[in-house]
Structure formats: structure tokens, C-alpha cells
Structure 1
Amino acid sequence: MVVISELRGGRALESLYSDIHTSEGAKRQQQRFCGPIVALTFNFFVAVGIILVNKVVMGKVGFNFPIALSLIHYVTSWFLMAAFKALSLLPASPPSKTTPFSSLFVLGAVMAFATGLANISLQYNSVGFYQMAKIAVTPTIVFAEFMFFSKKVCLQKVISLAFASVGVAIATVTDLEFNFFGACVALAWIVPSATNKILWSNLQQTGNWTALALMWKTSPITIFFFMVLMPLLDPPGVLSFNWNGNNVAAIIVSALFGFLLQWSGALALGATSATSHVVSGQFKTCVIMLGGFLLFNSDPGIVSICGAVVALCGMSFYTYLSLRSLKESTMAAKSLFPKQNSTSPSKLKAANGEAEDNKGAVNMV
């Protein structure tokens, strides 16, 4: 029995290794191991982790160069993916003819601008105003997907999104400060942010792109635009920063979390939708606020707490509706292939023998 289980485990690993060398197989494996709940949970914990790490980097370490830090994140991600590729562990990309280079170029450029403008918005705006700008991304995504992809949102989801947005607005209104330049930057950030999420989600869901494969193709483009934006948006002095061992170690840890954040965000966009990813971002904000109130005795005020609770209720209901519709669509897709679904391993074994059954099981993975 031990030998049989080891053989089956070895064949499963061999099948998994061979699958990532085709775009269809790699996409299938990503969908198999990383569903919506897994992807959103992974993204949530990584996002909270990088907030804590970046507080150390920008606070204790004093590395106040947000664009340069983002550039380091993406360069580190690219080197890690290059190592995966050298070890033949990087999932295969679809044929170049299936996705025009212009789409990949736009995605890489939009990602750089979305990240850069977000950092500037945080620099010139209060956290409350920044969160208010993030709320505007949700209707922008819904409107854009309806106009360009004919995607419609049911009334129940619209109501839940409205509750979530109002709740976030109430939770952050106490920290609302207006700065004209910061407001212009925040408004300019909304469109690239929405476009970035829509493109990431659409390319993965309509093609055979996996998160890592798409990151591998777009990272050099994003790095190039970060290099252009860094001298324009960052304060001077990055080269004269105290690059000692402790500071470099903290920045490297931040870069590793940056890779995980980019990967988990791409997985979440591929498994859910652009709107769901924005809602999950607002969910993180409310959880962090309530966590600080419950665990660290922070006092955001009763108005902010009530707003966060309302937002969490709206987000939870939206998540429930999204998962229910995903389950219904999956069941509908399975019903189109009743003969394939009714085929059981025992029938295959009776028809073809144990050896053929094992071979078939490997090919079906």
C-alpha cells in the first residue's frame, strides 16, 4: 500500500510539473488550487503584513522614497520569477498571438502609474481622503465593465456595494482633510487603478494566463516606467541613504512581501473580479480599524466604528452573493457535460484494468 501511494504521489507531482509547461494546464492548476476564498484570504493576510513591514521601513528605517521602494519590489519579483523560470517552475504563457503585446504594454504601464499616483495621494492627502478616493474606484469599475464588456450587476449587489461604500465613507470621514493638489492626484489615480484591476481580471479570465505568467510578462514594462517616474515623483537623496545591513534587510523583507502582495492580488483578480478585489481592499481597511480598537485600545470614534460595521455587513453580503453566483455558474457548466461528470474511477478500472485506470487518472489531473 505504501508503494502504491508513493507511485500515485509521484505521478501526481509529475502531472503537476508537466501541466505548468502548457498555458492551459497551468491555468487549470491555478483554478484547482486557488479558488476565490483561498485567493482573497491569501491577499488579505499579505496586505496586512506588508502594511506592518512598510511602517518599519518608512518609519523606523526612514526610507521615505515610495516610488523607489515600489521599484525595488518589482525588481525583486522579477528576479524571483527569473529563478523560477531557470528551474522550469514558472507557468507557461499563452502563445503571443493570443494576446497582443499592446495589451501587455498597457497593463504594465497602467500598473506603474496606478502605484505611483497612489503613493503620491497618500503623501499629500489624509488617510480619510485617500479612502474616499478608493470608494470612487468601485463605481468606475462597474461602469467600465458594463460599457466595454457588457457585464451587468444585479440589484442586490448594487445595494450591498452602496452599503459598503457608505460605511467606508462614514468610517473615514473623521480624518477627511482637503488639499487641492492631493485631490487632483487622487482623481487622476482613480482611472488607472480601475483600469489596472479590470485588465488583470479580464486577461486571466478570458485567456489562459496565470498570475505568475502575467506578472513575468508585465514586470519589465512596469519597472521601466517606475525608473522614469522615480526622479519625477520621489524626493532626492535615495543614493545617499544609509544602506547598512539592518536597513537593507528590512527593505528586502518588504520586497519579499511586495512580491507576495502582487502575486496574491493577481490570484484574487483571476479568481474573482475587479469589483470584488476593490471590496476586499475596503474590507482590510475596516478590519484594521476595528482590530486597532479591540486589540490596541485605539479610539477612532463611535461614528467611525459604526461606519466600519455597516461597511463590513455590506461587504459580507456582497461576498455571499458573488460566491453564490459563482457556484451557480459552475453547476451550470458541469450540467453541460453529464456524461463526463458521471464517469467514475471504478468504471474506468472495470473497463480498462488497474494499470489503465492509474494512467487515466494521471492524465485527468
Structure 2
Amino acid sequence: MGVDYKRDVPLLAFNFASAILIISVNKIVFNSGFNFPILLTVIQYLITWTMLEVLAIGGFFKRLNIPADKHLWVLAFAIGTATAISNLSLKYNSVGVYTISKLLLTPAAVCGEYILRGKVCSKTRMALLAFLCLCVLFSSKTDLDINIKGSICVISWLPVAVIYKVGWASAVKDRGFDTLALMHYIMPYASIFCSTMSFFLEDTDAVVNGDWATYYTFLLLIISGLSAFLINLSGFLVMGLLSPLTHIVLGQAKSAVMMLIGILCFGYNPQAKSVLGAVLAMASITCYTYVNIKEQQNSNQKTNDSREKGSKDIEMVQQRVESQKEN
């Protein structure tokens, strides 16, 4: 698939803005007394599915009427559990360990794309990705407080997150599913898996007790769900139309830009190494994007050249056949 600036740039900007929105809204939700992050994910998935149902009724896409095969079940499980396990990882791990686990997703995704889709990342892009990870690590906290529960979360989250991202790209690009239709199909199953985790891992008595239940909190939950619809839609489009690695790199860009915005707009006073790391991270992201675009353009050119050569070969064969008939 070629580079489409009119589509890709607005899509990446939309995902970036949606991420900032949902981070801000979720912070307000938790400050309101609703301290159930996995249940919040369930609510967000259900509201996302409801919005997709509205779009389906409006004729924006056709519903998938197919039985769920093992690949779709695995994808639904990954989507339903990845966010929940990530939240648990943040709960049980220090910020430093959590940051490193997020960085490990980059090489894990490279391996996942090779194993699941046969895609190879060039040495130049791998070097830039490695440099990006080092920059983010350099700019973050390094309190490496390792414990058993946190380690289990990291070990469990990495393969699930890779299947989530690479599996989605495979379903859209390799199997030809429409992004909206696949989201609509997967979300109910993902919600079931996520609800199961919430039931076993969160305080159900506190949920039922309802001390958090106010009109203000319900309004915030609806806003959070609508924000999740935007981030889910744009995120799945990025993974399907572009690549899982692009989505991961965009996530690193969000972290760096959020730090720079805090410095410029809100008077945040970080260490010098954090600022330097964020600036270098943005520079490496810019270089990665440039190299990625060039590689796609070269790949498309080779494909077009091969097609032209194939067409010429066919024409030559046809001419020979016609000349033999005349003789």
C-alpha cells in the first residue's frame, strides 16, 4: 500500500489528538472517585460498539456475518485483555519498569511481524527504533523496582499486545476485513474477556456499593466512552492502513510531545536529561518516518517496474504467437 499523505497525516494527527483527549478525561474520571480502570475499559468498549452500531445502521459499513474462527477468537482475547493487563502492570510495577515494558513492545512487534506476517524491518529502521527506545528510556524515570506480580504482568502483556497490534494488521491487510466492520464484530467478544478480568481482579463490592455513582461521574463515563471510540477508531485505522510499528512509534511521540507541552505550557520543570531525551526522541521519530516513507516509495516503484516488465513480456509473447500464426 502506497503513501497517501492526504489520508495518513490527518489520520495520525487525529489519533494523536484523541490520545491526549482520553488521557485527560480518564484522569478526571479517576479523580471523581471511579477507581476501576478495567471496568472503565469495558464501558469504553461497549460505548465504542454502540457508536459502531449507529454507523452500521447509517450504512457506513456492512456487518460481518461470519462464524468466529480461531484467529478472530485470539484477536478478541488479545484486544479484551491487553489494556487490562497494561493497567495492572502500571499498578504493580514502578514507572521505570512500566516504561521499559512499553519499550520492549517495539522489538517484540518487529519479531511478531516477521513470525506472523513474514515482514522484515530494514536495518536502518531497526537502528532508528533502537535509538528511539534509548531516548525514551533516557528521558524517563529509572526506578527499577522489580517484583513477582509486576514481572508476571509484563511477561503476560508483551505477547498479548503483539498479537493485538500485529494480528489486527494481518486481519485488515492480509484477510481483507474492513476496519469498521471488524471493530463492530470484535468488540462484544473483547468486552466479555475484559469483563471477566474486571470481575476477578477488581473490587466488585465497591462497584456494587455505588459510592462513586453520581450524575457527574456518569456524564464523565459517557464522555470517556466517546473519547475511547475516537482513539479506538483512529488506532485501529493506523494499525490496519499503516502498520503496527507506526502505531507504536506514534505512541512514543505522544509521550515525548506531552512532556514538551508540559514544559512550554504548564511550567513543568524536569531534569535536563528528560528534555534532551524527549527532543532526541522526536528527532529519531522524524528520521524513522522519513526512512519509512522512502522505503515504501522504493517498494512501490519496484512493484510498478515488475508489473511493467510483466506486461511487456506478455506483449512480446502475444506478438510472437501472432507472427507464428501469420507464418
Whether the 8 Å CA contact 2:117–2:170 is kept in 1: the answer is no
Whether the 8 Å CA contact 1:75–1:223 is kept in 2: the answer is yes
Q: Which moved more, 1:133-142 or 1:35-44?
A: 35-44
Whether the 8 Å CA contact 2:44–2:226 is kept in 1: the answer is yes
Give distance in 1, aligned partners of 2:80 and 2:302.
38
Give distance in 2, aligned partners of 1:76 and 1:252.
8
From the superposition, tell whether residues 323 and 94 of structure 1 become closer, same or farther in structure 2 (CA, over 3 Å). farther
Shift of residue 331, structure 1, vs aligned partner: 4.5
Shift of residue 187, structure 1, vs aligned partner: 2.4
Give distance in 2, aligned partners of 1:147 and 1:251.
39
Unpaired segments of 5 or more residues in structure 1?
A: 1-27, 339-365
Give distance in 2, aligned partners of 1:103 and 1:180.
31
From the superposition, tell whether residues 315 and 131 of structure 1 become closer, same or farther in structure 2 (CA, over 3 Å). same
Shift of residue 248, structure 1, vs aligned partner: 0.6
Give distance in 1, aligned partners of 2:178 and 2:65.
13
Whether the 8 Å CA contact 1:77–1:256 is kept in 2: the answer is yes
Shift of residue 281, structure 1, vs aligned partner: 0.6
* Equivalent residue number for residue 263 of structure 1: 233
* Equivalent residue number for residue 134 of structure 1: 102
The C-alpha deviation readout for 1:308-339, integer Å capped at 9, x for no partner, is 1222221111111112223334445556777x
Shift of residue 32, structure 1, vs aligned partner: 7.7
1:1-365 paired onto structure 2 within 5 Å: 35-59=7-31, 61-89=32-60, 91-92=61-62, 96=66, 101-174=69-142, 176-236=144-204, 237-241=206-210, 242-333=212-303
Q: Which moved more, 1:110-119 or 1:75-84?
A: 75-84
Give distance in 1, aligned partners of 2:225 and 2:66.
29
Give distance in 2, aligned partners of 1:215 and 1:249.
24
From the superposition, tell whether residues 32 and 148 of structure 1 become closer, same or farther in structure 2 (CA, over 3 Å). closer
Q: Which moved more, 1:267-276 or 1:201-210?
A: 201-210
Whether the 8 Å CA contact 2:95–2:142 is kept in 1: the answer is no
Give distance in 1, aligned partners of 2:46 and 2:17.
22
SS of match in other structure, 1:209: coil
Specify the code of the residue in structure 2 equivalent to 1:297: G
SS of match in other structure, 2:59: coil
Whether the 8 Å CA contact 1:34–1:271 is kept in 2: the answer is no
Whether the 8 Å CA contact 2:64–2:182 is kept in 1: the answer is no
From the superposition, tell whether residues 283 and 160 of structure 1 become closer, same or farther in structure 2 (CA, over 3 Å). same
Give distance in 2, aligned partners of 1:273 and 1:219.
21
TM-score, normalisation: structure 2: 0.86
From the superposition, tell whether residues 124 and 249 of structure 1 become closer, same or farther in structure 2 (CA, over 3 Å). same
Whether the 8 Å CA contact 1:34–1:267 is kept in 2: the answer is no
Give distance in 1, aligned partners of 2:75 and 2:149.
26
Q: Which moved more, 1:234-243 or 1:328-337?
A: 328-337
Specify the code of the residue in structure 2 equivalent to 1:240: N
The C-alpha deviation readout for 1:127-160, integer Å capped at 9, x for no partner, is 3321210100111111122233221111210111
The C-alpha deviation readout for 1:88-117, integer Å capped at 9, x for no partner, is 23x1357748xx622111111111111110
From the superposition, tell whether residues 285 and 198 of structure 1 become closer, same or farther in structure 2 (CA, over 3 Å). same
TM-score, normalisation: structure 1: 0.78
Give distance in 2, aligned partners of 1:302 and 1:202.
41
Unpaired segments of 5 or more residues in structure 2?
A: 309-327
Give distance in 1, aligned partners of 2:295 and 2:63.
29
Specify the code of the residue in structure 2 equivalent to 1:62: G
